[in-house]
Structure 1
Amino acid sequence: MTLAKYISNLLYRYECVIVPNFGGFVTNEISAKVNHFTHTFYAPSKQLTFNSHLQNNDGLLANYVATSENISYSKAVQYIHKEVDSWKSILNSDELDIENIGTFHLNNDGNYIFEPLNTINYLTSSFGLNSYVSPAVKRIVYKEKVKQLETIAPILPTKENKKRTPAFIKYAASAAIIFALGAFGWKEYQKVEYNNLVVEAEQQQKKVEKSIQEATFVISNPLPAITLNVTKQTFNYHIIAGAFRAPENAEKKLLQLQSKGYNAKILGVNKWNLTQVAYESFNSRNEAINKLNTIKKTDSKDAWLLVKEY
């Protein structure tokens, strides 16, 4: 699997995926919208942008690559650096096309210009919702028809028709009746159309909900299943204080951190047979990064962030 595939998979579940020494792909959720010129309706989606200033390795991409490829964290970092060097080499002379994400090129100042691919919606709650075109509503102007009836044929006064009701009054009365019936019929037509649209919308919503419930994602490499509407907190982000070969040293470190007021815990033994001790664990990546920066300033510069998928 290429690095682009790893980034694309992570964008379904995270708001930001940083590629070390290159930049960060950031998603922002946008609501449903309609194009009034083409009468096209678009489902809610994630808008993909690129920030070239986000280059520091936060561990998310590297840990995912290491888990998927069953390699060490350091080898995963080397793999990412090699891929980034290849991207930069292409950009020096040509346009860079990253699969399922978008294209890059350099401007005259040497800055990255990113054009996202709009055919993929990374918002999982909109799965199965495609854009559609609705014909514009045409409204009939009845006043114009009334004017036409009034000018069809002028009636010349004669002895015979003087005694009868003037023709223009008959035409005006007929036009008034037609207009009243037309207005009433139009309102009834609008009510029927509106009720039909409501029923159709409810049926479409039921189909979408059923599709979401029955949908499965098949990924060749190991990837945690995407679960919708999950409220359980998983605490995937851990600020690591140290990893110890001897379990008793890990216990000492745990008691030391707890005495300082941290909600410390032992995460268990990693693949290198080292017992990891964490200052604290978080469900939010932003909270974890903010706490990590505080710990680096006040307690230990050796603390680092572990992103662990369950």
Structure 2
Amino acid sequence: MAVANHIHDLLYRYECVILPEFGAFITQHHSARIEQSTNEFFPPKKSVSFNRQLVKNDGLLANYIVEVENIPYSAAIEKLHEYVQDLNAVLEENKVVTLEKIGTFNLSEGNKLQFEPVAENNYLKEAFGLSGFSSQEVLRETYKKQAEEVEEKAPVAFTPEKRSSGGWLKYAAVGLLALGLSGAAGMNFYSNQITEHNLAEQQKAATQLENQIQQATFVIPNPLPAVTLKVAKQSGKYHIVAGAFRLEENAEKKVQQLKKEGYKARQIGANRFGLHQVVYSSHEDRLESLRTLREIKKSNPGAWLLVQEL
């Protein structure tokens, strides 16, 4: 499989994917928005940009290639190195190179690398399948003016005969209005009565329950002394991965080995390939996790950083 496909897959799951010796692809979240000038609605999205300064291998892409293509870590590193060499050769010759589904690179006159992402690609998993749409503007004022014009064209006229003969209708209307008001007042009074009844019943039930709790006694003949345990809870979305194992027993052996070495190791569950992941530790702060990763890489070059909410 092409390296570009691996980068494309990882961008849906991680904020930063580094292509060693070349640069880093970084995703940025954008909220849903409305373009009022065109009445267009756009869903939330995650766009990708490129940082030429981040070229040091963090192990993420290489370990992903190891899992997907089932090759040794050294072979994955060599594959990435050859891929970057090919990219640079194409750029020097054609000044333009395109990574499918990701974007296009080109060299400016000053040999400055520029990146143009694929506009229609959205890396936000939660918005998968959503697309923008446009809606017609609601012209409320226009319809109001049209109604006023119709009323002006068709006025209602009352003749003296109709006004005199319809006098009893005026009193009937007044009577109906009075009945309606009294009925509404009666309904409000009835509703208030029901509400007050419900509140009173709830208060009565709560009082009875409280009395029963106060009257209840619990006797333990030989109470055990209280034991207080202080457990350091592992938290944070930055996890330093030591390895992934097909058998859970091997993963647990790795955890015990790392704990003996002084690490806060643990299992964080199986990944989508069914491999049981073991981490050295988990961190809240990204910079702290990167500093710890650099120290661990001195003894384990295959360690890498996983960014994931558990």
Q: Give the TM bin, normalised by the shorter chain.
A: 0.5 to 0.7
1:104 corresponds to which residue?
A: 105
Does the 8 Å CA contact 1:17/1:25 hold for their aligned counterparts?
yes
Alpha carbons of 1:134 and 1:110: their partners in 2 closer, same or farther (altered >3 Å)?
A: same
In the alignment, is the contact (CA less than 8 A) between 2:73 and 2:302 conserved in 1? no
| Match runs of 1:187-226 below 5 Å | none
Q: Secondary structure at the match of 2:93?
A: coil
Find the aligned partners of 2:264 and 2:8 in 1 and give their Cα distance: 34
Distance 2:282 2:144 in 1: 71
Displacement of 1:280: 3.3
Offset from partner CA, 1:215-271 (integer Å, 9 cap, x none): xxxxxxxxxxxxxxxxx989852369xxxxxxx9x988853x33xxx425799xxxx
Give the secondary structure class of the aligned counterpart of 1:17: strand
The answer to whether the 8 A contact 1:292-1:305 is kept is no
| Partners of 2:239 and 2:281 within 8 A in 1 | no
Partners in 1 of 2:281 and 2:147 — Cα distance?
79
Aligned to 2:23: 23
Q: Higher Cα Rg: structure 1 or 2?
A: 2
Partners in 2 of 1:58 and 1:92 — Cα distance? Answer: 26
Structure-1-length-normalised TM-score: 0.56
Task: Say whether 1:42 aligns with 2:39.
Answer: no
Deviations 1:167-225 (A, max 9, x none): xxxxxx947979xxxxxxxxxxxxxxxxxxxxxxxxxxxxxxxxxxxxxxxxxxxxxxx
**How much has 1:73 moved relative to structure 2?**
0.5
What amino acid maps onto 1:104 in structure 2?
F
Query: What 5-or-longer segments of structure 2 have no aligned partner?
Result: 157-234, 244-252, 269-277
Aligned-pair CA distance for 1:304 = 4.3
Alpha-carbon distance in structure 2 between the residues aligned to 1:122 and 1:235 = 20
TM-superposed CA distance for 1:120, in Å, is 1.7
Q: Secondary structure at the match of 2:104?
A: strand
Alignment deviations for residues 95-115 of structure 1 (CA, whole Å, 9 cap, x no partner) = 111000000101122121111
Letter in 2 for 1:238: V
| Sequence identity percentage | 35
Residues 66-123 of structure 1: per-residue CA shift (max 9 Å, x gap): 1111111011011011111111111113211100000010112212111100222110
Checking the alignment, whether the CA contact within 8 Å between 1:237 and 1:285 is kept in structure 2 is no
Quick one: which amino acid aligns to residue 128 of structure 1? G
Quote the residue 1:118 is aligned against: 119
**Closer, same or farther in 2 for the Cα pair 1:251/1:32, shift >3 Å?**
closer
2 CA distance for matches of 1:69 and 1:266? 24
> Partners in 2 of 1:33 and 1:121 — Cα distance?
14
Compute the TM-score of the two structures, normalised by the length of structure 2.
0.56
Shift of 1:36: 2.3
Of 299, 302, 306, the residue aligned with 2:303 is: 306
**What CA RMSD, in Å, does the superposition of the two structures yield over aligned residues?**
4.1
Query: Does 2:235 align with 1:238?
Result: no
Q: Which runs of 4+ in 1 moved over 4 A?
A: 139-147, 175-178, 232-236, 250-254, 264-267, 281-287
Native 8 Å contact 2:258 2:264 kept in 1 = no
**What is the CA distance between 1:52 and its match in structure 2?**
0.5
Which whole-Å CA distance do the structure 2 matches of 1:133 and 1:121 have between them? 19
Distance in 1, Cα, partners of 2:76 & 2:108: 31
| Other-structure match for 1:130 | 131
Q: Is the 8 A contact 1:22 1:84 kept in 2?
A: yes
Shift of 1:140: 4.2
Please give the alpha-carbon distance, in whole angstroms, between the structure 2 residues aligned to 1:146 and 1:43. 37
Task: Output the CA distance in 2 between the equivalents of 1:134 and 1:266.
Answer: 49
Q: Does the residue aligned with 2:120 lie in a helix, a strand or coil?
A: coil
Aligned to 2:63: 63
Please list every run of 5 or more consecutive structure 1 residues that lacks an aligned counterpart in the other structure.
Answer: 150-172, 179-231, 241-247, 268-276
Rounded Cα–Cα distance in structure 2 between residues aligned with 1:124 and 1:27: 12
In the aligned structure 2, how far is the partner of 1:266 from the partner of 1:40? 46
After TM superposition, give the deviation of residue 292 of structure 1 in Å.
2.7
